Structure 1
């Protein structure tokens, strides 16, 4: 199996996407300090809160500045675009965070968007692992972030509707309809209880399950108190479940 370098987590709001993204970042950064890039591609911009970082500038802010500059094209063309990206990184314990910010607004020229995305791609090449906290589907990843993802994790709860939505996301990703290359896709189930009849539901949607996250009182408490998940005890249920997912994706982890 090819080495997995980039992991994107997608799914509808409320399915635990940012929790999983944060714990993936933390576990990878603990094991490979300084070699992990986190990208917050969700317009809700939640990773700064769950990782405990202060974000001063986003790619969206940078884009707005460039659009307002007469010599923006020259600035982008005459210097490494990834240096612009490096200048807006927030630095955490063992990882760096790039925040995309809000989607581009009308009036932003395509050349700017394309060069910024190229800058993100080349910046990602400087790291061993990239974790992307995405939006509901893979189309935003292609349009705003990067052209390929090694592993796409789709979050869902145990409701039939959530599983059907996840199946649709995976179908679109694997069909290549968004011009994004995805090598591996898997489902991550959130808030799983032992008394739930999983097998029949999963059989209907035909998805491979990469992992299950149980209800975790510690995660709920940290969320209520707006405390960074980097403070969460690694012995808690969710970090242990995410560690098992990582071992499935990266066997040598």
Structure 2
């Protein structure tokens, strides 16, 4: 039996965002909610953005015991001008909001395709555009784009989502190259299927598209390519975001931090 090391590895400094302002989109639930809470726990003033006013109100109710502050901000990201304006003065930007529809391309409604690209690619561009002047001015900023394993791999019947996530990867890398001389990092976090309402809502669509019973979608479709046979939790994704915003993440930029349970190892 190996005895413990007499010289344990030193612990890194905890994430301290006191005095920083963060903006998290899609903050009313799922990954966005977990990220908003994590950043507020680190002391940030978090502008929690979502179109779900009720969900934001519930989130804000958790702020009393946190070092930081959660400020609900009701916003539909298809209002691109408002999105860009909302990002002004932001130190940490987490582009998380997403929508999903599972359909074959020939049956995919063009208006939904347009909306998915607007919310998940054009809005992040406008938010980054709105945040960069302040970040550049102070010589520090953190952009974290919640991408997906679908930013690196495609799946059938998800043309809009896959296209948006692949585009987000390119946008994030471009922001990394432009931001590096100004102390701004830009990265993607790429989880596999997360235990969120977004995933739960697509079970019926997946069952119909693939011709399998709904109760088999999780095992036969969603987790088929994952070596680790479980959903990832929103809090695990939030910890990856926290790492990229912390002192040990300062040299990480233009990267995709993959949390896929071994999916892309195939």
Asked whether the two chains share a fold, i.e. TM above 0.5, the reply is no
More helix by share: 2
Report the TM-score range of the alignment, normalised by the length of the smaller protein.
0.3 to 0.5
More strand by share: 1
Q: TM-score, normalised by structure 2?
A: 0.42
* Bigger RCO (CA 8 Å, 6+ sep): 1
